């Protein structure tokens, strides 16, 4: 647990420093290069710094040990962190979109400045940097099974997509289509809002005890049915609890078995499930008597 927290915090610190430097770089290039899309893009990168801080706090709280007030642990704190991240991401997207829309609708088209090549270079560097951050964060999130860190990875990916929008807008404006630069800000807005919505839905699912995927449940059933003494599975319920899973399963066994033998089977089911599925925090097993036909 402590090792996973250390890995998550390490990734967060590295990407946070990278985003601060990238945001400053893109803002300067956008200002010098006369690109509203690149300035908007720099604001998006700066929002990543805030999101990473939220993730770090969420990771720290989620890895706290169980206590008397929270006997099931604190894993849902990651979901809350991801939820807050989605709201902030949505607000960032709306702000960027409004700036671009206002320029398109209300600005004098002849007054819109044409971006220079430095803004174009900044967009390319941003795409490469943010895509690298996405894969770095995503791989670690999958490794330590962190919802908040995965949300942060998608925040990096949305920034990469917004930089692609900036690249298109800046290139078009340099070719004479001035409105493409502010229009790119609107495209960036859509990308950000889409990412915010996906993160929001995922975090809500994990807060409201949504069941696991059919594939996961099928894998658990296949494992249990191979255990000697298990006749059939009567019921199986799963629920997501942050980045962990709880399972309640009822199985049938020969009614003539002794209590000790039935308990041994239940213990074996419990141990095998928790051993083979790392995300399972706890498995509750109930044994039902089943009359066997002679």
Structure tokens at 238: 């799963």
Structure tokens at 248: 């309640």
Are 238 and 219 spatial neighbours (Cβ–Cβ below 8 Å)? no
Lowest-confidence pick of 11-20, 172-181, 225-234: 172-181
Q: pLDDT-based confidence at 12, cuts 50/70/90?
A: confident
Residue 67's φ and ψ, nearest 5 degrees, are: -140, 180
Q: What is the pLDDT of residue 81?
A: 79
Which range among 3-17, 28-42, 100-114, 269-283 has the greatest average pLDDT?
Answer: 269-283
Q: pLDDT-based confidence at 114, cuts 50/70/90?
A: low
Answer yes or no: is pLDDT of 285 > 90: yes
Q: pLDDT-based confidence at 276, cuts 50/70/90?
A: very high
Residues 6+ apart with CB under 8 A from 58: 77, 78, 80, 81, 82, 148
Q: What is the mean pLDDT of residues 47-57?
A: 76
Structure tokens at 100: 């671009």
All structural domains of the chain:
2-207 (1.20.1510.10), 214-290 (3.30.70.1350)
Q: Are strands 244-254 and 280-290 parallel, antiparallel or unpaired?
A: parallel
Residue spans of alpha helices (H) in the chain: 2-32, 36-62, 76-106, 117-144, 147-174, 180-207, 214-225, 259-276
Residue 167's φ and ψ, nearest 5 degrees, are: -60, -45
pTM of the prediction? 0.62
The structure tokens 């770095």 sit at 136
d(CA 140, CA 205): 22
Angstrom distances, CA of residue 3 to CA of 7, 61, 203, 241 = 6, 15, 24, 20
Q: For 127-157, how does the pLDDT look when each residue is reduced to its tens digit (9 = 90+)?
A: 999 899 999 999 988 887 777 788 788 778 8
């Amino acid at each position: 647990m402590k090792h996973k927290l250390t890995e998550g915090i390490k990734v967060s610190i590295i990407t946070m420093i990278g985003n601060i430097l990238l945001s400053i770089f893109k803002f300067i290039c956008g200002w010098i290069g006369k690109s509203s899309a690149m300035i908007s893009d720099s604001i998006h990168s700066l929002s990543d710094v805030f999101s990473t801080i939220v993730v770090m706090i969420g990771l720290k709280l989620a890895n706290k040990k169980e206590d008397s007030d929270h006997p099931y642990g604190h894993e849902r704190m990651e979901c809350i962190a991801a939820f807050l991240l989605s709201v902030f991401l949505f607000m960032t997207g709306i702000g960027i979109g409004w700036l671009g829309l206002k320029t398109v609708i209300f600005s004098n088209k002849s007054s819109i400045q044409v971006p220079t090549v430095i803004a174009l270079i900044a967009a390319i560097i941003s795409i490469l940097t943010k895509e690298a951050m996405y894969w770095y964060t995503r791989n670690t999130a999958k490794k330590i099974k962190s919802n908040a860190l995965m949300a942060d990875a998608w925040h990096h990916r949305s920034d990469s997509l917004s930089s692609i929008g900036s690249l298109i807008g800046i290139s078009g404006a340099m070719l004479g289509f001035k409105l493409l630069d502010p229009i790119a800000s609107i495209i960036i807005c859509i990308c950000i809002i889409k990412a915010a919505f996906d993160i929001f839905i995922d975090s809500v699912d994990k807060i409201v005890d949504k069941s696991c995927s059919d594939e996961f449940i099928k894998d658990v059933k296949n494992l249990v049915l191979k255990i000697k003494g298990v006749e059939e599975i009567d019921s199986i319920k799963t629920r997501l609890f942050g980045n962990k899973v709880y399972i309640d399963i009822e199985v049938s066994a020969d009614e003539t078995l002794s209590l000790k033998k039935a308990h041994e089977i239940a213990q074996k089911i419990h141990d095998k499930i928790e051993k083979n599925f790392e995300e399972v925090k706890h498995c509750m097993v109930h044994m039902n008597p089943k009359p066997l036909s002679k």
